[in-house]
Structure 1
Amino acid sequence: MSNAMPPLLEARNISKAFGRFVAVAGVDLVIRKGERRALIGPNGAGKSTLLSILGGQQAGGAGGQVRFDGDDVSGLQPEDLARRGVGRTFQISRTFRKMTVAENMLASLLPRAGLIYSLSTQRLNILREQADAILTEVGLARRSGTIVDEISHGDRKRLEFGMVLATRPRLLLLDEPAAGMGLQERQELMAMMLDQVTRNGITLIFVEHDIDIVFRIADVITVMARGRVFAEGNPQEIASNKDVQDIYLGSGH
């Protein structure tokens, strides 16, 4: 990723404490447009907390400043950030489990379309066509009429990703998107996600413990430990850093 590309997101001196426990301590992060950035490190390093601050889920009580596309978005709520183009998925899938796959996708399209209170049949049909198209892109067309409770964990992850795609994000935050999956299912999911990210020109920040996935996808890797940035560089630089190997493969992971 060329440094000539302008920053899409700039985080400066980001800090967050829970009582006496400091989860994030003065982190700086600059993400350029089109970049694929991985956050790695031992459990408890602060990766997911940092992602939550960037996505607005932990904005309250967080110190520092977050700028998105040049605007100060520090402290904004997730829905406000979503309107600006920031999307996020979670370790635990967040879907409407008693609704069908298609109904979930339709629900994700409604707010952006501004049609919650005025759904004509024609407009609804257009949204249904859009929902069907996204379900095809994420490999769920065959499951559109199935209740979410009845689909697999991997398909729920695909659905959640599709629902985030429906908001047309410019920046996508993924928190361990392939957690809890077998090897083949994990590889298929990540390949689909990467294809969609590339095809739609989405900038990506993701937390992932699978180092093979990290080194295959990331342009830049940020290594965190004890709430701070421990090292940063391209995959080759991180792979050859002995201190990173010690801290990431040590007893804390």
Structure 2
Amino acid sequence: MTHSITTIAFDADDTLWHNERFFKLTQDHFASLLADYVEGPDLMGRLLEAERRNILHYGFGIKGFVLSMIETALDITDGRVPQHVIRDLVETGKDMLAHPIELLPHAREAVEIAKVFGRVLIITKGDLLHQERKVAQSGLGDLFDGVEIVSDKVAKTYTRIFDAAGDGAARGMMIGNSMKSDVRPMIDAGGWGVFVPHDLSWDIEHAEEPTDHPRFRKIDDLGQLPDLLSDLSKTG
């Protein structure tokens, strides 16, 4: 290939398959369970505060989300939350963990075309067991040259992965729906960051777009990735 990009990585949740919408549905259910104690917007604010605090303790993923809901329910009710509410939240978390994978449009085609341009990875964060299960159930696992499940996504994470699995971050591309976790730290590491917006996004993952950076690109969906890769290969 003529272009300098030799390794292309994809985020998983809400880039290759749906994820955040299940969290939103659970938040709506959570609000209904605690409607007698607090109004929805106030409850969601308290839950977000708990999630921010607990990331360092529980990491990213459904298990930490459920524990944050339980903690919020206890705080909101001064410890008087009914037992059946706690039980309901635990069972809801199990349902989320067991939910089947639903690929986003063009996901398979995007990964297949990326393989024409170089090595292809998944780089995702979250609970190891659950993320491994989702990769296996997606039907895409065999297409990837490597799967990296990390505790967080920062510049040094991408430097380490692309040094080990590719030719360094400078010759790598990261594609994802999170400006904070997928795009900006990859650019900081010296690589290409491609933003694929999703209709739903977690407030914690918001960040400003580096619109003036020469290695930043934005596409509407994965269906536009082949043209982007083709254009970059012509100008490389």
TM-score between the two structures when normalised by the length of structure 2: 0.28
Higher helix share: 2
TM-score between the two structures when normalised by the length of structure 1: 0.27
